[in-house]
Structure 1
Amino acid sequence: MLTDATIRKAKPRDKDYKLADAGGLYLFVTKSGHRSWRLKYRFDGKERRPRARIRRSRPPWPWQRSLRRAFQAPGGR
């Protein structure tokens, strides 16, 4: 699990990179220095990655679950 200090120390590199957290959640850092939280999961055998922009720290777990529900296909499959 990422700490607040690790997140603040995430600096731009030559290429975009990811810092893994837990449960498919990771911090994506671009080469320009932009940081965004992303969630990686599978739905119907396809990989999905909705993005979430958070200014401060890692989002709480209930938020992550509601995000998964929000991106479910119609009919709840």
Structure 2
Amino acid sequence: MEGPPVKIVALAIQGFVGQVLLDAGGNAKVNKQQFLHQVCKRIHSIGKNLFFEFKEKSFKLHFLMYGSYRVNEEKSR
């Protein structure tokens, strides 16, 4: 996924700003639990990176070459 589609994703999920993160998944090696029950303060993109900012911490997603994402849905098996 290149830069312009990442910007589109950032714009599409702006509705989550101000919302509490209830669940997080994926293959990242970071402890995703540390972000649970935190309010998302800002979502923005820079190039191929998508940033989620919370009160005290933030995290960055990089979609690599063929990245994908899901919002409010389970991975199909």
Larger relative contact order, structure 1 or 2 (CA cutoff 8 Å, min sep 6) = 2
Give the shorter-chain TM-score range.
under 0.3
The normalised TM-score by structure 2 is 0.26
The normalised TM-score by structure 1 is 0.26
Q: Whose Rg is larger?
A: 1
